[in-house]
Amino acid sequence: MSQQDSSEHRAMLSNSVTDFARGADVARVRKLRETKTECDRAVWRQMAELGWLGVLVPEQYGGMGMQLGDMAIVAQGLARALVPEPLTATSVLAARVLTASDNNSLKTKLLEGLVSSDILPATAWQEQAGTLDVTKITTQATPFEGGFRISGAKRFVIGATHADGYIVSANSPAGLQLLWVPRDAAGAAMTFDALADGRQSGTLTLSEVTVAKENVIHSGAAAAESLARAIDHAAAIASAELCGIMSRSLEMTLDYMKTRVQFGKPIGSFQVLQHRTVDLYIQQELSTAVLADCLGVLDEEPDAKTRSAAASRVKARCTDAALLITRQAIQLHGAIGFTEDCDVGLYVKRAMTLAAWLGNGTAHRRRYARTEIIEGATA
Amino acid sequence: MSTLGAVSAAKTDWNAMDDDAFRMDLRAYFEKEFPDHLRFLPRRLRWAESVDWWKKLSKKGWLAPNWPVEHGGMGLTPAKLIIYWEESERAGLGRMPDQGLTMVGPMLIRFGNDAQRANYLPKILAGDIVWCQGYSEPNAGSDLASLRTEAVLDGDEYVINGSKIWTSMAHDATNIYVLVRTDKNVKQQRGISFLLVDMKTPGITLRTIRNIAGHEEFCQVFFDNVRTHKDNLVGKLNEGWTIAKGLLTFERLSIGSPRRPLQAFEQLDALARAQHLFDDPGFVDRYTQLKMDLNDLSSLYGRFVEKVRQGIPLGPDISMLKIFATDTYQKLSELLLEAGDEYGAFADEITLGGDQIDLMSPFYISRPGTIYGGSNEIQRNILSKYVLQLPS
Ligand SMILES: Cc1cc2nc3c(=O)[nH]c(=O)nc-3n(C[C@H](O)[C@H](O)[C@H](O)COP(=O)(O)OP(=O)(O)OC[C@H]3O[C@@H](n4cnc5c(N)ncnc54)[C@H](O)[C@@H]3O)c2cc1C
């Protein structure tokens, strides 16, 4: 695609996202806590029709074959409107893992299903809190003639309430396996814990679940590498979502500061609040600058070390900035910002959920320190 | 009934007791007598849940640790008071609708008349009445002096019209203390009076408001020709602002107590043990920083409590305590979420290493501390103007 084509494409994407977000229903988000309907399949289908589920998926599987920079536009725009559907978990994390698969028939079926919204896959890779290392797992895949039997427990599965199946990682004598486990597979059970924003974190228990050879997505070092890359890419797109959250939150705060009057003046005229919001604005601009830079780096498919460093930079900054801005939004709204009815709280909660997913600020700084600073110094 | 409490409190000089013995007494009692299902709740207790405990503590003479002995309190020294709070936190005693204890009691002791003290103090101790605070209005938050709810004297009664908002636990209260405008023709602060009103008075209606965590924490209270007898005026007519300012000082002292952050520390300790966080030097740094901040907060708090005990009026410098306490509490709640990693987004309690840990509630509970009782921005304005005396 030429430069001009691609910028036209991005403008189009951006417009369609803005239109969609304008019609998005915050009342639905508000009800999440009671109804747990974090994914409305009708909305999901609509998103598929707009092409968004397949932004990153190669054209031969029905996708758009575009770049992370394009995906970020969609994610950021939808996050501004608090759309709860699991776009990043599905269309980045799962889509990247599936695209790297060498099992062509399974890959075709799942990717086409993902793009059309007929199949919603969720990725169940993590077992421990606080690590992004895909090898830190104990789920076992024991081989037999027809495939594997897997046992173990996966935590923090996002986008799982409506999932039709799971991409599960497990250790086998031949290295890491990525396996497709349909939702109703015998021995697989999913339970949920509510997250701050009303969405759900899944725990998948697997006991002696049989996975046929045909359902092996990817194996060995290449599988581990594709999973790690998918996680980094998803962390970067989650950062784009955080940028959407912070920008809308700051906008709402600035609007409020222009209209709320105390001591006979708009509170936005108090210098301390002006300086405070200027600092928040700087954090927002830092975030978008880092985001653009890191997406560029990731789209060039650098080596694993460079890739992880870029993902960590952007996730650390965007997480911290979004948490700061949304928390300050409460403060600057005063008591009304502390009520359920005020949208400010919805942004705080979404920021917390996105912050904790795929490594929070501390986790990413820890990883960055390990690979970029400590190993660099001893190299 | 409350005299019972006063009598038994007078019998023991808690302050003369050895610190450890005092602590162990409290600990044993709180562990044995407080209802288990109410421990470590992520929200304030409702009155119906509190009343039995309230009465029990009152009988024992342990309900009002900060009130003087002659009014039925324990009259504790700062050091003993801090032990009292620490043990309450340790036992997970929830925050009851305690405005009567923390605000109205001390206020009447200082500004009320004998009749008001005789009428209200025993009822507060006995748990017969529950108070809420009617200061803020939709358009008078930080700028409280601009309040517009008005009271007009008609015969022996004041007739009140207007509305108050963010009134914590108004839906549980039997009585409300309100700031009302009684003179519109003078400087704002000069035309405000302080009234006590029975919530059952005709003309009062409530709208409950849910907080960010989904709990019904506060209300908007509407006054439509609400009548209260003129004996319910506290202090002099049009001098309510002075009383309110005095009371806000008490409130700042109470918000400034290290007790609430202490509970969050319990959660952080449990998390750190379960997740082996003390192996991580980065965590240890942040943890220790806050631990030492909290210790230092206790020192600062002790300084102000000591003044109160000696009868020295608290000045505008109390604002620094409120700022440091609430900021520290928020930082602590933020570390709790951050150190929880993925669990840091879990809405409900988690079970880790055999412990039940609530990472999220301290976050919500610590948020409004920087907003109410005079926001921290307002506190900084006060400090820069009245303490540092910078030009305005
Ligand atoms: C949980 C909770 C419980 C409460 N309980 C009670 C209660 O029981 N009774 C009661 O009467 N009230 C209660 N309040 C209300 C509380 O006292 C007010 O929220 C507070 O006074 C701030 O007013 P506001 O919310 O209208 O914010 P605003 O005054 O509108 O302030 C909005 C923002 O502007 C800032 N600001 C305002 N003026 C200035 C200035 N001059 N300089 C710099 N910054 C400024 C504030 O700091 C804040 O950040 C409660 C509030 C909360 C959150």
Report percent pLDDT > 90 for chain B.
Answer: 76
> Which residues 248-267 of chain A have a CB within 8 Å of chain B?
261-264, 267
More confident: B8 or B192: B192
What residue ranges line ligand 1, CB within 6 angstroms? A 260, 262-263, 267, 270, 272-273, 331-332, 334-335, 338; B 132-136, 141-142, 166-168, 217-218, 368, 371-372, 375, 377-378, 381
| The pLDDT of residue A2 is above 80 | no
Whether residue A308 contacts residue A232, with contact meaning beta carbons closer than 8 Å, is answered with yes
pLDDT digits (tens, 9 = 90+) for B73-87: 999 887 788 788 878
Q: Report the CATH number at residue B63.
A: 1.10.540
Residue-level length of chain B: 392
pLDDT-based confidence at A379, cuts 50/70/90? Answer: low
Q: Is the pLDDT of residue A5 over 80?
A: no
Structure tokens at B2: 């409350």
pLDDT score, position B309: 67
Instruction: State mean pLDDT over A358-374.
Output: 94
Residues of B within 8 A of A350 (CB-CB) are none
> At residue B252, does pLDDT exceed 80?
yes
Together in a domain, B237 and B142:
yes
pLDDT above 70: residue B103 = yes
Residue B7: per-residue pLDDT: 45
Residue B194, domain extent: 131-243
pLDDT tens digits for range A84-138: 999 999 999 999 999 999 999 999 999 999 999 999 999 999 999 999 999 999 9
Do B227 and B136 lie in one domain? The reply is yes
Domains in chain A and their CATH numbers? 3-120 (1.10.540.10), 122-220 (2.40.110.10), 223-378 (1.20.140.10)
Predicted confidence (pLDDT) at residue A329 exceeds the cutoff of 60: yes
pLDDT tens sequence across B324-377: 999 999 999 999 999 999 999 999 999 998 888 999 999 999 999 999 989 999
Looking at the structure, do residues B190 and B279 belong to the same domain, yes or no?
no
Interface contact A366-B343, CB threshold 8 A: no
Integer-rounded Cα radius of gyration of chain A: 21
CA of B53 to nearest chain A CA: how many angstroms apart?
29
User: Which structure tokens are listed for A44?
Assistant: 């999901």
Assigned token pair, B292: 């030492």
Shortest Cα distance from B45 to chain A (angstroms)?
A: 18
Indicate yes or no: CB of A352 within 8 angstroms of CB of B350.
no
Answer yes or no: are the C-beta atoms of A305 and A229 closer than 8 Å.
Answer: no
A325 vs B259: CA distance, rounded Å: 28
Number of folded domains that form chain B = 3
Answer yes or no: do B77 and B139 share one domain.
no
Distance CA A29, CA A330 (A): 18
Distances (CA, A) of A76 to A23, A51, A64, A291, A317: 16, 16, 18, 11, 15
Instruction: Quote the pLDDT of residue A4.
Output: 67
Residue A216 has pLDDT above 70, yes or no: yes
A27/A301: higher pLDDT: A301
Interface pTM (ipTM) of the complex? 0.96
Higher pLDDT, residue B9 or B265: B265
CA of A50 from ligand 1 middle (Å) equals: 44
For residues B41-61, give the mean pLDDT.
Answer: 91
Average pLDDT of chain B, as a whole number:
92
Is residue B170, in this structure, part of any structural domain at all?
yes
Chain A residues in contact with B146 by the CB 8 A cut-off are 262-263
Mean pLDDT of all residues in chain A? 95
B319/B303 Cα distance (integer angstroms): 13
Whether residue B251 is contained in a domain is answered as: no
Among candidates A105, A166, A177, A107, which has minimal Cα distance to A137?
Answer: A177
> The domain that contains B173 carries what CATH number?
2.40.110.10
Distance CA A93, CA A178 (A): 13
Q: Residue B251 has what pLDDT?
A: 78
Does residue A188 surpass a pLDDT of 60? yes
Question: Taking CA atoms, what residue in A is nearest to B145?
Answer: A263
Tokens linked to B374:
């005079």
Closest residue in A to B351 (Cα) is A193
Amino acid at A241: E
Whether residues B347 and A360 touch (CB distance < 8 A) is answered with no
Q: Is A194 on the interface with B (CB under 8 A)?
A: yes
pLDDT confidence band for A3 (50 / 70 / 90):
low
Q: Which residue of B has its CA nearest to A129?
A: B342
- Label the pairing between strands A165-172 and A175-182: antiparallel
The answer on B264 and B224 residing in a single domain is: no
Are the C-beta atoms of residues A239 and A315 closer than 8 Å to each other?
yes
Separation of A267 CA from ligand 1 center, angstroms? 12
Q: Pick from B211, B282, B346: which is nearest to A338 by CB? A: B211
Q: Chain B residues contacting A, CB < 8 Å? A: 136, 139, 141-143, 146, 165-166, 209-212, 214, 218, 275, 282, 334, 337-348, 350, 360, 363, 367-368, 370-372, 375-377, 380
Tell me which amino acid residue B227 is: R
Note whether residue B114 is domain-resident.
no
pLDDT at residue number A378: 62
